[in-house]
Amino acid sequence: MNTKSSLQKAAVFHKFGGPEVVSLEDVAVPSLQENELLIQVKFSTVNSADCRIRSRNVPRGFGTILGLLYGFKEPKLKVLGLEVAGEVVATGAAVKGFRLKDRVLVNLGFGMGGHQEYVVVKEKSQVIKIPDEVSFEQAVASVFGGTTALLYLRDKLLLKPNHKILITGAGGAVGSAAVQIALSMGAEVTAVCSTDKAPLVGGFGVHKVIDYKKSDWKAQPQEYDAVFDTVGVFGVEDLIPWLSETGKAALAVADLPLNLKCFWFSLTHKRKVYAGAVSPRNSDLEALLSQIKNRQFDPVIGKVIPFSAIREAHQIADSGHKLGSVLLKMS
């Protein structure tokens, strides 16, 4: 492939707004440096991070930070997409660890750029090989929800075998990953989800499913070693009756004041409440793919949308009630 002259399709947005601001355009395939890989994207995802950046609809206190990173009046980055799974189609002269046709998973992070047919990444970035036993779809669906769940459960909540944990939003990308990973760690899981997602969540083998549409469950607190709120149900004070004396909680959705409140609460109490972004490493991605390979974790894929219909994927993600991950099939 002549990367200097070739064109590709990319999902581009030139102003902030709803799904309608995203459109497919012809853009140049990125040129390749000696330490980089050119990857043909097979699948990507559209998730809540894409929607927040596209719409500038972020939790209170983070607007200025988002503006500095991505622009105030118009987008600095024109192509969204946090993660991709694809095939190596060209390598720079200095690349040693990858070959043509390697199947790879890439976490692009908040530099974005996954919603296009080809991406270029440095060999030393977050790019790993996908085991033969793992599909492109499973690999790319594991990143956003899987890394968030793994890092909170393992590193923040310090989840141990036989710990009792409550997980809210158990049908979403983060929640469904958290349920499965917590079970693989030997925890006793109580999962909160909607009626339509209850059969799926119950099928994971959880101890109990709470259907929030059928009961006033928050009025009947139970004591847990850990609570993982993936959808913004709890405030800090709300969590106290739900936690054991030394229990820990994590809030995956929190505005800046709530982040600060969590920090102060954890400094002054035996119970701990954590919030904020997590930063996965290559070893975390490899751990997730190993769990998929060993059938301990199967990322939930709610829908696969053709790249040409990317606005539909944004609409689903905007709804706030999507099942698992929404995937983009690039070709």
pLDDT tens digits for 130-158?
Answer: 999 999 999 999 999 999 999 999 999 99
Average pLDDT, the chain: 94
CA atoms of 291 and 299, how far apart (whole Å): 10
Lowest mean pLDDT among 65-69, 116-120, 187-191, 282-286: 65-69
- Count the neighbouring beta carbons within 10 Å of the beta carbon of residue 3: 16
User: Could you read off the pLDDT of 218-271 as tens digits, one per residue?
Assistant: 999 999 999 999 999 999 999 999 999 999 999 999 899 999 999 999 999 999
CA atoms of 308 and 290, how far apart (whole Å): 32
Name the pLDDT band for 102 (thresholds 50, 70, 90): very high
Sign of the alpha-carbon torsion through 178, 325, 113, 69: negative
Helix (H) or strand (E) holding 282: helix 282-293
Give the Å distances, CA to CA, from 48 to 131, 153, 172, 244. Answer: 27, 20, 11, 31
- Structure-block tokens of residue 329: 């099939």
* CA neighbor of 286 nearest in space, from 168, 178, 154, 129: 129
- Three-state DSSP at 180 gives helix
21's CB contacts (< 8 A; 6+ apart) are 13, 14, 15, 54
CA atoms of 233 and 249, how far apart (whole Å): 12
Query: Length of the chain in residues, anyone?
Result: 331
- Structure-block tokens of residue 94: 């200095």
* CA neighbor of 166 nearest in space, from 88, 223, 92: 223
pLDDT score, position 4: 45
Give the Å distances, CA to CA, from 20 to 11, 150, 175, 317. Answer: 11, 34, 28, 13
